[in-house]
Amino acid sequence: MSQTYSICLNTQDGKEISFDCAADENLIDAAAQANITLPAVCHEGNCGACHGHCKSGEYEQKSHSSGALSEQDEEHGGILMCRTFPRGDMIVEVTSDLSHITSGPVPEPVCEVLAVDDMGGNVCRLLLKVLPDEQGAINAEFEPGQFMELEIPGTDIRRAYSISNAPNWSGELEFMIRLQPHGKFSSWLLNDAKVGDQLNTKGPEGSFLLHQAGIAPRRFVAGGTGVAPMLSMLRQMAEFQETHESHLYFGLTSEEDLFAIDEIEELKASVANLTAEVCIWKPTATWQGFRGSPVDAFKRDLEADLAKGIKPDVYLCGPPGLIDAAEKVAEELGLPHTSLFSERFLPG
Ligand code: FES
């Protein structure tokens, strides 16, 4: 029988939760056996959803994608819990609050397609409605920033997408999905999806959430459809009339990629202290907005913020390259890593 070690998770809200893990078991599976559901999607070291930080203890980290966990992060104790096998007792820091670490299985509601719309920029808006379960309950509670796994009808192929609307009582879930040339989910959306279709889903999951404590200004740095969870957060801020001074940096490669501009304009009108900037990396000569990456624009403002003694909470969502670059900027300028919250989007 393999040796068993004690794993203690330190949650974002300063709580602790412990479970045992055998040397031949990964942390996610061991937690599940103890009825603790940690955020995880692929279970293969590819998505980064199970990211944590080892504060003490020995472990072995099996192969994984560098997009999900960079070498630099790994050197600083970053781990993917689905690829981590203990070699001693461990203390692991996770970015979830204790209330987001669910006991028991993640809900798997069946949903109906309400709308499939072209948003421009090769992005599709998929609107779903959760159908009542056997007890007649509609399980569509989520927190802005979380994602759902959606299954292509008639297959067991699932993809994870962030929810872009605000929590609601009508059970509606909105997603903004970039159409990938050979993507299986994209082909279903383009060729087969129609209003009234039913699909299996799983979630909500994930711990990329608004940090509610304090009144620190908020900076949202998004690449492409990485803006979706931020729209959810901002829509909730509008509903709750939150007054944090906030700025959205929305990065796209070219003007042809523009989407969600009307939604952002609406939010600028409804969130008390929100400003927003669309950053085009390869603009045409006529582009009037920011020319460069959202990380460039973020760097310009972070320098000014820190010079004034302002330490914003920073939300990052998009491809791994964007997140690594923004984290590097924050580290170089001296913003503590506890002020950074991120979600990586990997192609799939
Ligand atoms: S669940 Fe661990 S990397 Fe995807």
At 263 the three-state DSSP class reads helix
**Domain coordinates of the chain in residue numbers?**
4-100, 110-205, 218-344
Which DSSP category does 6 fall into?
E
For residue 274, the CA-to-ligand 1 centroid distance in Å is 33
At residue 347, the pLDDT reads: 54
Q: For ligand 1, pick from 47, 66, 84, 95 the residue to mutate: most ligand atoms within 8 Å of CB.
A: 47
| Neighbouring residues of 289: CB distance < 8 A, sequence distance ≥ 6 | 277, 278, 279, 280, 283
Q: Can you give the pLDDT of all 348 residues of the chain as single tens digits?
A: 689 999 999 988 889 999 999 999 999 999 999 989 888 888 889 888 888 999 999 999 999 988 888 888 899 899 999 999 999 999 999 987 787 787 777 889 999 999 999 999 999 999 999 998 888 777 678 999 999 999 999 999 999 999 999 999 889 999 999 999 899 999 999 999 999 999 999 999 888 889 877 789 999 999 999 999 999 999 999 999 999 999 999 999 999 999 999 999 999 999 999 999 999 999 999 999 999 999 999 999 999 999 999 999 999 999 988 998 999 999 999 998 889 998 887 654
At residue 1, the pLDDT reads: 65
For the record, the structure tokens of 264 come out as: 């952002």
Strand blocks (E) in 179-304: 198-205, 218-223, 246-252, 274-280, 290-291
Check if 264 has its Cβ closer than 6 Å to any atom of ligand 1. no
What are the distances in angstroms from CA 96 to CA 103, 194, 211, 247, 276? 14, 36, 10, 24, 27
Q: Do 166 and 235 form a contact (C-beta atoms < 8 A)? A: yes
Residue 219 identity:
R
Which fold is adopted by the domain 218-344? Rossmann fold (3.40.50)
The whole-angstrom separation of Cα 10 and Cα 22 is 19
Count the neighbouring beta carbons within 10 Å of the beta carbon of residue 184. 14
The whole-angstrom separation of Cα 12 and Cα 37 is 16
Tell me whether domains 4-100 and 218-344 share a fold.
no
pLDDT digits (tens, 9 = 90+) for 155-208: 999 999 999 999 998 899 999 999 998 999 999 999 999 999 999 999 998 888
Check if 68 has its Cβ closer than 6 Å to any atom of ligand 1. yes
At residue 116, the pLDDT reads: 97
For the chain, what is the radius of gyration of the CA atoms? 20
What are the distances in angstroms from CA 26 to CA 33, 84, 168, 203, 339? 11, 5, 36, 22, 28
The whole-angstrom separation of Cα 117 and Cα 327 is 34
Bridge partners (DSSP) listed for residue 20: 6
Q: Do 107 and 82 form a contact (C-beta atoms < 8 A)? A: no
* Maximum pairwise Cα distance, the chain: 68
Check if 80 has its Cβ closer than 6 Å to any atom of ligand 1. yes
Check if 210 has its Cβ closer than 6 Å to any atom of ligand 1. no
For residue 283, the CA-to-ligand 1 centroid distance in Å is 35
Using left for φ > 0, alpha for ψ between -120 and 50, and beta otherwise, residue 219 falls in beta
At residue 67, the pLDDT reads: 80
Q: For ligand 1, pick from 43, 106, 158, 205 the residue to mutate: most ligand atoms within 8 Å of CB.
A: 43
Check if 45 has its Cβ closer than 6 Å to any atom of ligand 1. yes
Q: Name the closest-CA residue to atom 3, ligand 1.
A: 45
The architecture in CATH of the region 110-205 reads Beta Barrel (2.40)
Domain 4-100: homologous superfamily in CATH: Beta-grasp domain (3.10.20.30)
